[in-house]
Amino acid sequence: MIVFGAAKWSHQAGLSFCSSISSSQQFYDRLQLEIYQFNRLLAKMQAKGERVDGCVDLVRVYEGFTSKVCHGCKTKSLISIYKRVERQNQDGNVVTQWIRTRWFECTHRGHQGKKKMNRDVNASRNMAQNLIYAAFNRVHETTWMIGKQSE
């Protein structure tokens, strides 16, 4: 989200905390696109003679416990989901293996909504929410505090 001036005009260029970003390179590419879009729109508005102040703020968010704490119920009650895979070893024998997936399931009794969630989506939602909690001085509700309390 790009916000100009006193939040009177904004533009959403597709960078979202909840979108599926599969790698840090993909995130970097989207971020570069966001900054390019911001500069292009700022120049366009200034060419029309509008006095516009704008900025792109990048905030570093601590990732502690973001993938271990459930976004829905705010408890450290996620367990990994495994899938069964059959492979052939060097001797030609079929061997069954259990491989951990990128999915978690929440085991908390009071959980509302979907219990199965993608690890990366859950973590990115928690990071965005941690930023909001920290901005409003509610650090005790962040995932890093929840994670430390449950250890």
Which of 69, 103, 67 shows the shortest CA–CA distance to 83?
A: 103
- Look at residue 140 in the predicted model and tell me its pLDDT: 82
Q: Which residue has the tokens 């951990």?
A: 100
Q: Which residues contact 113 (CB under 8 A, 6 or more apart)?
A: 72
- Look at residue 98 in the predicted model and tell me its pLDDT: 94
Q: Could you give the CA distance from residue 151 to residue 148 in angstroms, rounded to a whole number?
A: 5
Q: Which residue has the tokens 């259990």?
A: 98
- Look at residue 43 in the predicted model and tell me its pLDDT: 81
pTM for this predicted structure: 0.57
- Look at residue 99 in the predicted model and tell me its pLDDT: 94
Query: 137: which 2 tokens?
Result: 């001085």
Q: What is the mean pLDDT of each run of 10 residues along the chain (151 residues)?
A: 40 43 64 75 81 66 80 88 92 92 90 83 84 79 79 66
Q: Could you give the CA distance from residue 110 to residue 25 in angstroms, rounded to a whole number?
A: 37
* DSSP code string of the chain: -EEETTTTEEE--S--TTS---SHHHHHHHHHHHHHHHHHHHHHHHHTT----B---------TTTTTS-TTT-SS-EEEEEEEEEEE-TTS-EEEEEEEEEEEEE--TT--S-SEEEHHHHHHHHHHHHHHHHHTT-GGGSHHHHHHHT-
Exposure string for 94-115, b = 16+ CB within 10 A, e = fewer:
eeeeeeeeebbebeeeebeeee
